[in-house]
Amino acid sequence: MDGLLKELQSLNIGKVKENEPLANHTTIKIGGPADIFVEPSSLEALEKVMDCVRAKNIPWRAIGRGSNLLVSDKGIEGVVLKLGSGIDHLDIDGTRIKVGGGHSLVSLATLISKKGYSGLEFASGIPGSVGGAVYMNAGAHGSDISKILEKAKILFEDGSIQWLNNAEMEFSYRTSVLQKKKPGIVLEAVLLLRQGEKEHIVAEMQKNKDYRKETQPWNYPCAGSIFRNPLPNYAGKLIEVAGLKGFSIGGAKISDMHGNFIINAGNAKAADVLALIQYVKDTIYNLYEIHMETEVEIIGRK
- DSSP secondary structure letters along 265-298: -SS--HHHHHHHHHHHHHHHHHHH-----B-SEE
225 catalytically annotated:
yes
Domains of the chain (ranges; CATH) run 2-82 (3.30.43.10), 90-200 (3.30.465.10), 217-299 (3.90.78.10)
What confidence tens digit (pLDDT) does each residue in 248-291 have?
999 999 999 999 999 999 999 999 999 999 999 999 999 999 99
Confidence of residue 163 (pLDDT cuts 50, 70, 90): very high
| CA 274 – CA 123 distance, rounded (Å) | 27
Catalytic residue among 174, 212, 248, 297: 174
Find residue 186's DSSP bridge partners. Answer: 154
Residue 300 has pLDDT above 90, yes or no: yes
Nearest of 139, 49, 153 to residue 101 by alpha carbon: 153
Tell me, what DSSP letter sits at residue 263?
E
Catalytic residue among 72, 118, 225, 255: 225
248 catalytically annotated:
no
What confidence tens digit (pLDDT) does each residue in 170-208 have?
999 889 999 878 888 899 999 999 999 999 999 998 898
72 catalytically annotated:
no
